Structure 1
Amino acid sequence: MSTTVMHEGPKLQFGRGRWIDNWNPENEAQWQSKGKGIARRNLAWSMFAEFLGFAMLAVWGMVVPRLLDVGFQYTVNQMFWLIAMPGLFGAFMRFAYTFAPPRFGGRNWTIASALLLLIPATGLAWAVTNPDTPYWLMLTIATTAGLGAGNFTSSMVNISFFYPEREKGFALGLNAAGGNLGTAWVQFTIPIVIITGAGLALDRAGLMFIPLIILAAMGAYFFMNNLSSAQSDSKALLMSTADKNTWIMSFLYIGTFGSFIGYANSFATLMRLEFPEVTTNYVFLGALIGATIRPLGGWMSDRYGGARMTLVCFAVMIFGCGGVIWVLFQDQPSFPLFLTMFLILFAAAGFGNGTTYRMIPAIFRAQVTDRQTGKVDPTGLVRARRLAGGCIGIAGAIGSLGAFIIPRVFGTFGIKGGFIVFIVAYIVMIITLWFFYERRGSALSFARV
């Protein structure tokens, strides 16, 4: 009779500043004894900071449609610039924040990135109290909300170091969904907190963040850890730029995640412009549906293939856009139908977030898989995983440009014209997806990526 003995290997060492040495989540003994509890604790507080970051990115989408009610005189185009600029700045922050956790420590950077959110929070609280605030200054303050987008990337990078490969997908999926819910939370909360007996108090949209930001920073300070073993793979990021699939997936991710965050940030303003008699209390439903359906997209992709499910996603989004256009062209547009079509758009975009994220590792794995035998080259698999990681970083940053692109399309072409542009874009994405990944005879069609 034999027994299996799990060897923990080098013991975990806990140093000053909550640094941990000898972290190895792949070691089963270490993982079961202490690692799992440490990882879950770090995930919880990292999710909270990321949640606030996503909420900050979306806050101007809720504030802008109420600016006219408190005396600001902005054109529709100016309003969409205020909504768009956090997305543009946020895309750059996602690149910059990728390298921060390994360099400074995940705990340390979570503290710093949380406290940085005080800049857009206090700036918003101050700027909206005075209708004479110069537009250029208002635009600058709105832009700083893009700091919140960086929190998502640094959180995902940090948590990836804490979990073993077999549990990393679930942990990162949970982390991403938790962050996305920040958008729904801020859209649900702001219409409630800004209402006072005397009218509107838009400054509360910024002030409500301050105690939560301090709580996130304190939670990270007392309960999170830094890992000495965490290392950034900047070379993989550079290597992935040479692979055409990185750019194809970045383009497609604009259509899924970019649509989700762009529509979420624009939804309240679109409602006020088209249905001024309707309150914005329903806005949060779109982001809530999009965030909660994301795991289903990943699960369905595992079952039927990510490319195939992404095709379905874009087809449904075309239907949703066409439905919105049809509603708006009616003599008396129906708000319930408008809301229904928009919720279909959010559901499809959230579903597509899961399908495209699943496609990326599958694509790079397929490149090192023998087409005839289905065997995977072990050496090539290591490189494929690195390339997939680099691709995810680049695609995530480029995809988040949707938060800038979609409001600017509405500001330039109007609401109906904007949705026509999006239909054309989704058709191009369907053709691209089919040509490279689903077309019979294409290089990766055999792998059902």
Structure 2
Amino acid sequence: MAVERVLSGMRPTGQLHLGHYHGVLKNWLKLQHECECLFFVADWHALTTHYDTPEIIEASVWDMVIDWLAAGIDPSNATIFIQSRVPEHAELHTLLSMMTPLSWLERVPTYKDQQEKLSSKDLSTYGFLGYPLLQSADILIYKATQVPVGEDQVPHIELTREIARRFNHIYGREKGFEEKAEAAIKKLGSKRAALYDEMRAAYQENGDDEALDSARAMIEEQQNLSLGDKERLLGYLEGGGKIILVEPDYKLTPASKMYGLDGQKMSKSYNNTISLREPIDEVTRKIKTMPTDPARIRRTDPGDPAKCPVWQLHEVYSDEITKSWVQEGCRTAGIGCIQCKQPVIDGVVAELTPIQARAAEYAEDPTLVKNIVAEGCEKARKLARETMREVRDVMGLNYG
């Protein structure tokens, strides 16, 4: 099978906290060893809601990269870059906007949701409406095959697939396509050519998705084919034209169990976070002063862990023995709330200590961090330029 290429980004709008670590970064740590990964700082995306406070973005960009590296994102396994340093994203976004129906953007569920949630801001801007299209450009420019997202972001990936399909339908009809595709089949050699024809027929006549996947894998493995020939064969498989932009699949991110200090989802807007670089004594203080089951007014009052925000942190940080101790001790008033909180404090501190040590090393060497990002931007730009050459070509923009 061809190597999967994963693309994911985060908006730099403040310090990263344990919610980011458990919800996104731990998944990235796993993916970087399984696939080709590109992780980017989505600074243009941050401007869609922070256009009037750009200083927040500027202050957060480098801090966020340091947090990624400290958490274990390895630049030898993943490409780390900043969106605005690869201007081809904006070029593809502009060109895609020429053929994307307005109604497609207006029906994205997060468009109206976010406008309601952030009603204090004027979000009646083109940038906010076009946010999902810029996201599509981010993905399509790297021909990413997988995009890790939460369930709320699935409609964005569906939109990206529709845009890729529409683009390929409009611009993939090159002159003499079928003849060029047939010539490319011959380059496979007689044995593989026969197999390709067999799998193409199985897919087109019987809708055999396994045959389609096998044929795609076989094409990707061919070293002697040009990129153009590979794209013709991929398009011919499905009965359409040349495939210029790849339709990505979404990869559902495992739901984060990380709740905030008040039992709600951990979020800066709820002021209930523990940031990755929070001083350890402040971490201890925050957990010690967490609210507990309101029924436990006195030390001798029994409680119910299900009604206590501290229990939600035990679910993340404690082993089964500790969890049983908490259940028994809380329900019988055998342990006090401060005792109950100590294993959570120990677990959070154990997780943050190595992250903070690595973050301090990177913070002391800003040149190293900037070099990592510069190298990542160069790698990303190389891929982006290749896609844009093809896009300009099929759109008739490569004038001699």
The question of a shared fold, defined as TM-score above 0.5 by the shorter chain, is answered with no
* TM-score in terms of structure 2 length: 0.23
* TM-score in terms of structure 1 length: 0.21
Task: Give the number of the structure whose residues are more often helix, by fraction.
Answer: 1
Determine which structure has more spread, i.e. the larger CA radius of gyration. Answer: 2
